[in-house]
Structure 1
Amino acid sequence: MNGVEMSNDSVIWDIHSGRKNLTSIKSIELKSSIFHIHKNQLEDKHDIIDKVSTIKDKTDTLFICKEEKNSFPEGGLRGWLAVFASFIGMVASYGTMYAPGVIENYIKENQLNDTSSFEIGWIFSLYIFICFITFILGGTLFDNFGFKKPILIGTIIHVGSLFSLANCRELWQFILGYSILGGFGNGILIPCLISIPSQYFNRKRALAISIASIGGSIGGIIIPILLRKFFSMHRLNQLDYGFIWGIRTWAFLDLVLLLLALMSGQSRIIKENVKDSNIPSWKYYCKILLIDGFDYKGLKDVRYVFCVIATIFTEVSLKAAVTYLGSYCTSKDISNSNAYLIITIVSITGIPGRYITGYLADKFGRYNITILYTLFLTLLMLVDWFPFGTNLTNLYVIISIYGFLSSGAYTMLPVCCGQVTTTDKFAVRYSTMYFIIGFVQLGTIPGTGAIIGWGEKTHYQYYVLFCGLCSFLSLVFFIIARYCSVKFKLVKF
């Protein structure tokens, strides 16, 4: 680098690209500290770089958006309250994502005992689909209106859906009350809960999000145990008595948790929108919610695109595995009580998995750790679970390791998205990513249910193989996403 000129309102870095027909790049004027740095200098500057995106031109340079470390509190009372709000909210919202395994196993043997796994799978597939495509609404509401308003809206819908679920008897009722209403409510909640810690943390972002996401694992422990206890309760003239009051108790619990999150969290950054007085209010807000919510420009960034593809395969693998884990266990002649315990073990071992992963990611690089975890996860499913997960003892060991690795990998998905985008665009990029994933997930669980069929033991082996292959594809695309950013250099990324 030949020289640097700096002023109050601009930063100018003069560099050489190394090409014969290009001598230097000068006079880059910015309001938010943007630099051009040659690729060969990336390792030296890596400790100050937060975001990297490739310029597709003849300069052979990298466009570096440096977010000043001082612009993030990296803690403080409000910062840690934001983490607490995210944590307590995820007990309710992400805890719901762990419930399908227990619910699917129960309704298959009771309310929907004459319905195939393929048809039952649509309940949970539609739930995930509605949830993910609604992320785009939740992220946009968060960016434009802050934390509290969307959390309040999401809480009302989420709790209402659980009360509806308690009274479902037919397939269409489960789809309407749980899949559509519940997915919509959770789709508003989750982007806000994921995004709020990112406004207060940059250098320690992976650790902050990991601590917050532990709430999801705790929810994954509490809710299956709660439902299991209630599902075993019966009255003489009301066989689904335990189901009804188990779901209602769950609804009251989530209401308390989400109200605590609402009171604790507060946005630090709210997007300022300048409204044209000539545009009617309804058109203005429709534009914000329906058009600005999808980040089309982000799809021009190849790093972001490959991150989205990698996340798709991770989501497919993990959601399919968790949803049918209870049924898989019973297919191996394991009792329902032990099947519920195995589902709970996934969440228990996920607690240290999430925290340790976040700590390692901030220390050694977010993509580096994600790739390592995904590699181990793939090997576990294809080399251990597929051939040896046929008895209770083996499953205890395999699922314990699976819970640790899968929770760690899952925690890194929003962090990897944040690694290739700026903080002010994180919520909309994250929501756009899950909007796309939602359409893929629409067929994931029914497709996995089709693989399982009517529950033959051989078909359940195909289900494990399918999850393992999806994890392998996720590994491949995470490697490609990293390559597009820093090639194969051994740097912290």
Structure 2
Amino acid sequence: MTPFDKIPHEYRIPDGGLQAWLTVLGVWFLSVATYGAVLSFGVLEDYYVRVYMTNKTSSQVAWIGSTQLFLLQACGLVSGKLFDEGAPLQIVGGLLYVFSIFMLSLVKENQFYQVFLAQGVGMGLGMGMTFIPATAVISHYFYRKRGVAMGISFTGSSVGGAVFPIMLNKLLHNPSWTFGNVIRLFGGIVAACLLVTNLLVRTRLPPRKLRTWEAPPPSVMVLFKDPPFIVASVATVITTFGIFFPIFYIQLMSALHGVDPNLSFYLITALNAASIPGRVIPGLLGDRLGPLNVLAACQFVCIGIILAMLGITGPAAAPPIVIALLYGFFYGGVIALTAPAAAQMSNGVHEVGLRIGFVYAFIGIASLFGAPLQGELLSDRFRWNRSIIFSSVLMAAGFVVFVVARFLMAKRKGTQFV
């Protein structure tokens, strides 16, 4: 008998219903406020390096974005387990997130450590306390449709990643707006999104201590005894060292190669807009062909697109536009299928939050070092080929390891649709 069979009928996964889709909508708004903000960091990277923190290199500035991304994901190991235990984290995390944005709005020029603490640490912790638990709630409502439900909710990050760069690019370079006012406007939008999330997202399962059926407490040690899951987690770490390179650097790279600023400012927006169908279509395919299969295919294509960035050698507009659109779609597939793939490897809903949090913690470790390493390879002479090759080689290595994990999982389940 599986943990699913022990759950009373009223707590069985419904795979739909009004509250289920309201929860998806609530997580959608959370994705706008969290990942949508993170995916806009390329705009701030460009602004900080060229305008607001000219005393720092691109590698040093990248630590702000990578720390924020690290904490968003690495906090999942703790917040995911606390979620499985029934702890409410969304309100506290949301308040910390909004407070940190306000503190960022007070920072003056060339104050690196103040920006690092407010944006990298404070905002990152707030995001991490809210994102993983809310994402795991979707698994309480969906099983067979889990991939498409999570994919739809994750399109919020694409919308935020498309809208925020336009807003930031327009206002940060507008003399009528100060840096502080722009950040406060951003904070107001984030606060509104978080309010909607807290109103809509509702967990179905009671805290573990109040459950009437037997389910083992979520334990990290159980995960280390699961070879396919651990191999997949290692593959995710290796892949993450390279996957965020276009998002952090495509605007800066295009601007320094003389691409029209009116175009280069919209590249991150285009990339994130293309990831909207990239989060839904692969999710649909994943529900039919298996999330690990589709995830591996998206990873493979991303490798080639990163290598194609070597073709950005001058002011021509076509290469960066095509790269942004294609990468947005397939990168979106990788992001949207990560959580469903981790959930599929779970032994029951009692450990979904832990497994998703564990995978995102691994992703967070690589996110912390990936962008700064790429910045160091880039150097102050902007040697793009070194960072591009570094990112694509690690993506390729991660893909190979992930294929091994997929093979082990297929062998366990006795089917190729994993």
Q: Could you tell me the TM-score, scaled by structure 2's length?
A: 0.91
Q: Deviations over 1:39-65 (max 9, x none)?
A: xxxxxxxxxxxxxxxxxxxxxxxxxxx
Q: Which structure is higher in helix share?
A: 2
In 1, the alpha carbon distance for the partners of 2:222 and 2:31 equals 30
- Paired residue for 1:367? 292
- The answer to whether structure 1 residue 244 and structure 2 residue 244 are counterparts is no
More off after superposition, 135-144 vs 302-311? 135-144
Counterpart among 265, 268, 272 of residue 204 in structure 2: 268
SS of the counterpart of 1:220? helix
- Paired residue for 1:320? 245
Q: Contact (CA 8 Å) 2:72, 2:126: kept in 1 or not?
A: yes
Q: Contact (CA 8 Å) 1:389, 1:398: kept in 2 or not?
A: no
224 and 140 in structure 1: CA distance in 2 versus 1, 3 angstrom threshold: same
AA of the residue aligned to 2:89: P
In 1, the alpha carbon distance for the partners of 2:8 and 2:328 equals 34
Q: Contact (CA 8 Å) 2:234, 2:362: kept in 1 or not?
A: no
Q: Deviations over 1:249-308 (max 9, x none)?
A: 11001101110010011001133237xxxxxxxxxxxxxxxxx88712201211111111
Q: Contact (CA 8 Å) 1:92, 1:257: kept in 2 or not?
A: yes
Counterpart among 34, 48, 72 of residue 107 in structure 1: 48
Q: Contact (CA 8 Å) 2:72, 2:127: kept in 1 or not?
A: yes
AA of the residue aligned to 2:387: Y
Flag structure 1 segments of 5+ consecutive residues without an equivalent. Answer: 1-10, 12-29, 35-65, 236-240, 275-291
Q: Contact (CA 8 Å) 2:240, 2:366: kept in 1 or not?
A: no
Q: Which structure is higher in strand share?
A: 1
Q: Contact (CA 8 Å) 1:136, 1:294: kept in 2 or not?
A: no
AA of the residue aligned to 1:151: Q
Counterpart among 61, 64, 74 of residue 120 in structure 1: 61
- The answer to whether structure 1 residue 438 and structure 2 residue 379 are counterparts is no
- Paired residue for 2:399? 475
> 1:388, CA displacement in angstroms?
5.4
- The answer to whether structure 1 residue 77 and structure 2 residue 2 are counterparts is no
Q: Deviations over 1:357-394 (max 9, x none)?
A: 11111111111111111112212222x33345653212
AA of the residue aligned to 1:262: N
Q: Contact (CA 8 Å) 1:82, 1:264: kept in 2 or not?
A: yes
Q: Deviations over 1:165-216 (max 9, x none)?
A: 1222301101111111111001111102211111100001001000100011
Work out which structure has the larger RCO, using CA pairs closer than 8 Å and 6 or more positions apart in sequence.
Answer: 2
In 2, the alpha carbon distance for the partners of 1:337 and 1:196 equals 40
> 1:111, CA displacement in angstroms?
2.1
Q: Contact (CA 8 Å) 1:105, 1:327: kept in 2 or not?
A: yes
In 1, the alpha carbon distance for the partners of 2:361 and 2:121 equals 15
SS of the counterpart of 1:443? helix
- Paired residue for 1:42? none
Counterpart among 444, 462, 486 of residue 386 in structure 2: 462
> 1:142, CA displacement in angstroms?
2.0
- The answer to whether structure 1 residue 133 and structure 2 residue 87 are counterparts is no
In 2, the alpha carbon distance for the partners of 1:398 and 1:151 equals 36
- The answer to whether structure 1 residue 221 and structure 2 residue 157 are counterparts is no
110 and 199 in structure 1: CA distance in 2 versus 1, 3 angstrom threshold: same
In 2, the alpha carbon distance for the partners of 1:258 and 1:209 equals 18
- Paired residue for 1:396? 321
- Paired residue for 1:205? 146
- Paired residue for 2:214? none
Q: Deviations over 1:11-63 (max 9, x none)?
A: 6xxxxxxxxxxxxxxxxxx77559xxxxxxxxxxxxxxxxxxxxxxxxxxxxx
SS of the counterpart of 1:120? helix
Q: Contact (CA 8 Å) 1:86, 1:212: kept in 2 or not?
A: yes
> How many pairs align?
407
SS of the counterpart of 1:273? helix
Q: Deviations over 1:341-369 (max 9, x none)?
A: 11111111111111111111111111111
- Paired residue for 1:449? 375
* Matching of residues 164-313 of structure 1 within 5 Å: 164-169=103-108, 170-235=111-176, 241-273=177-209, 295-313=220-238
In 1, the alpha carbon distance for the partners of 2:125 and 2:225 equals 28
Q: Contact (CA 8 Å) 2:14, 2:142: kept in 1 or not?
A: yes
- Paired residue for 1:155? 94
Q: Deviations over 1:64-100 (max 9, x none)?
A: xx999x9211111111111111111111111111121
- Paired residue for 1:24? none
AA of the residue aligned to 1:482: R
Q: Contact (CA 8 Å) 2:76, 2:358: kept in 1 or not?
A: yes
185 and 293 in structure 1: CA distance in 2 versus 1, 3 angstrom threshold: farther
AA of the residue aligned to 2:92: I
Q: Contact (CA 8 Å) 1:354, 1:408: kept in 2 or not?
A: yes
* Matching of residues 478-489 of structure 1 within 5 Å: 478-487=402-411
In 2, the alpha carbon distance for the partners of 1:416 and 1:357 equals 12
SS of the counterpart of 1:297? helix
In 2, the alpha carbon distance for the partners of 1:311 and 1:264 equals 31
Q: Could you tell me the TM-score, scaled by structure 1's length?
A: 0.78
Q: Contact (CA 8 Å) 1:90, 1:193: kept in 2 or not?
A: no
* Sequence identity (%): 23
SS of the counterpart of 2:203? coil
In 2, the alpha carbon distance for the partners of 1:393 and 1:343 equals 15
- The answer to whether structure 1 residue 332 and structure 2 residue 257 are counterparts is yes
Q: Contact (CA 8 Å) 1:227, 1:243: kept in 2 or not?
A: no
